[in-house]
Amino acid sequence: MFKAKVSSARKPYDRTAAKRAVRISLGISAVFFLIEAIGGWLTNSLALLADAGHVLTDVGALGMTLLAFWFAARPVSPARTYGYFRAEVLAALANGLSVWLVAAFILLQAYRRLMDPPEVLSGPMVVIAFLGLLANLAAALVLYGSSKESLNVRAAFVNVATDAVQSVGVIIAGFLMLFFGWYITDPVVSVIIAVLITYSGGRIVLQATHVLLEGTPAGIDVVGLQDALRQAPGVRAVHDLHTWSITSGYNAMSAHVTLKDEVSHEEEQGVLSHLREVATTQYGIGHVTIQLESGSMAGEEDHEPATGRAKDSR
């Protein structure tokens, strides 16, 4: 009677694969940061230095991502019953905020150069920017799979992908300076890069803040979830339903469920198991807490608290 129907199963978040991808991307970004920074200084290209600055934030972001993975793997304790999972979200927030500082520095330097554009060694600049494009594409490709599951990895992926777009802009600016002598394109492209950095950082900041404020996880339809629980055999009503993310790929929910009068004490565990499987299998929620209540709850609003015999499905 209470057997749950499996509609779709979500694959668990593979942190081992994510850490491996981050390590590889960190190596690629670190090596190319040195190449691009030295190249930007030698060619006197602000656009190239700006791109190197963003690559440096990638290195920092990837390093913090690995550190966050280490914290998240630490065991739970009486003082931290959820462990250190939120360290990943905090790292993503720090990553997003850090790129804004880089963007501000680039805009300041670009303003100065717009007043008096200096000459740039365009040929070497184009070569270095093209190599940067290849490096960024390689790093983005490595991170792409894990970016779908982890907000922290997604932050690093967005940074690397944005770098790839920036490299295209630097290449175009290099050709314009090489063939037409339009040196003003160097600070102009730098401004565009700064805007892209600001936008990409802003998206990550908003997503991380949403998690920290315990907003509804992306991809979870709360109304649909509540309806699915209400339609379970033996259930009269569902109220005080809350969903949130503990960290990327680890969602949680709590709810009060009022049972029908005909449900016996012996049948409660079957109802609870069914509700838990609906939440975990159909909605990918890993931490489910449900309080069962008996008696008529007719007319009670969803936001009102209730008491009754409690059963935790964890």
Q: What is the mean pLDDT of the chain?
A: 81
Model's pTM, two decimal places? 0.70
Q: Any idea of the CA torsion for 100, 101, 105, 107, to the nearest 10 degrees?
A: 20
- pLDDT of 312 strictly over 70: no
Domain residue ranges in the chain? 15-212, 222-293
pLDDT of amino acid 288: 93
Q: How confident is the model over 133-174, as pLDDT tens digits? A: 999 899 888 888 777 767 667 777 877 887 888 888 899 999
Between CA 163 and CA 199 the distance in angstroms is 13
Exposed, middle or buried, 89 (CB in 10 Å: 0-12/13-18/19+)? Answer: buried
Cβ neighbours, 10 Å, residue 17: 13
Question: pLDDT tens, 208-237?
Answer: 899 899 999 988 999 999 999 999 999 999
For domain 15-212, give the CATH superfamily: Cation efflux protein transmembrane domain (1.20.1510.10)
**Domain 222-293 CATH assignment equals 2.40.160.20:** no
